[in-house]
Amino acid sequence: MQHRFPATEIKFDENAKAILESDPNSHNIGERVQLLRVGKFVVNPGRADQSTVEVTIEMLQSMVNNFNERIRGVDIAIDYKHESDDVAAGWIKEIELCEDSLYATRIDWTPNGLRKLADKEFRYISAEFDLNYKDNESMQSFGPTLLGAGLTNRPVVKRMEPIVQLSEIDTNQALSNELKAELKGAKMADQKQQSMAVQPVPAPASAPAAAGSMTPEEMMAKIKELQAIIDQLKSEKEAVVAAKELAEKKSRFAQLLSEGKAVPAQEKSFLDGDMEKFVSLSQPVNLSEKGNSSVENKKDSQDQIIELAQKRAKENGVDIADAISQVLSENPELHKEYQKAVSL
């Protein structure tokens, strides 16, 4: 009986970054990918064909032994979505058992397979195995055997080892890589000068020091300079986001004005998210002509509006200005009552 289990997210090293910048055929990435682990797993839970498979350490050891002895007589492929008769995304070259898990310790990815992983079209790899593989020529049985694996996005086995994605490179690592690139470039330039037997031309006094001759202090200064650039870009991004949010709020307030649900005097409180002030500025109250009853009516309807808006903001995670707008739109009778109270 064959079984397929998604195992873990794909891990990229520095070679994976290079695949986007150079000839992919020049890169064979040796990845350590967790294929399967010990445990009891329910396949197709809740369905008529539900079944349970228990993976033991003895089964995983059998897979390693059969792989090393090449009992299947073919190389083990990683395909796309378990389409084993189609093209391969990579070839498993080595596997090993570590504690309670089976790992592929070296994978020869195809150029197209590597690109699909780098583009995040697939995030998981699923092991495919037979609990008692039988050779179709000798008819000899070999027990649990790894048949292959497939790239997939539907994991069954959870809680596998966390794997770093290509985009998950922190700032310090990025800075370190940039400095390494500078050092490598300087070293190559020195080697080229030596091979051509050309004396180096002294750099002007104002020119910055080459990366290869940087002191620790100069390297730290370089890191701080790059960090300042990153901070500036973040600040500019935040300003753009804030400007966009302000423009959206102004657009929503203009809509309220056009629908007669707000007056110009309420704009600032709407933009600031000041709910009580927004409601209080709806219309002026003439106490000398209408007495105090209008104040009570206004207070009752205003309290209801505030209460509903606060609840809406808390439940839906929206700002208070949006919550007020939604309450007024969804409660025309309450809005009408408030407008009537403030106009008495």
> Residue 151 has what pLDDT?
86
Task: List 94's β-bridge partners, or say none.
Answer: 106
Question: Domain residue spans in the chain?
Answer: 2-152, 169-178+209-253, 259-343
- Predicted confidence at residue 74, as pLDDT, reads 95
Number of CB atoms found within 10 A of residue 39's CB = 15
- Identify whether the C-beta of residue 127 lies closer than 8 Å to the C-beta of residue 7: yes
Q: What is the pLDDT along the chain (344 residues), one digit of tens a residue?
A: 555 554 445 555 555 555 545 544 444 454 688 888 999 988 888 888 898 989 999 999 999 999 999 999 999 998 998 888 899 989 999 999 998 999 988 988 889 988 887 777 887 888 889 999 999 999 999 999 999 988 887 777 777 664 434 444 343 444 445 555 555 565 566 565 555 544 544 544 444 455 556 788 888 888 888 888 998 888 888 888 888 888 888 888 788 777 777 777 888 888 887 877 877 776 544 444 444 454 455 557 777 888 888 888 888 887 777 788 788 888 888 777 766 655 54
Considering the entire predicted model, what is its pTM? 0.44
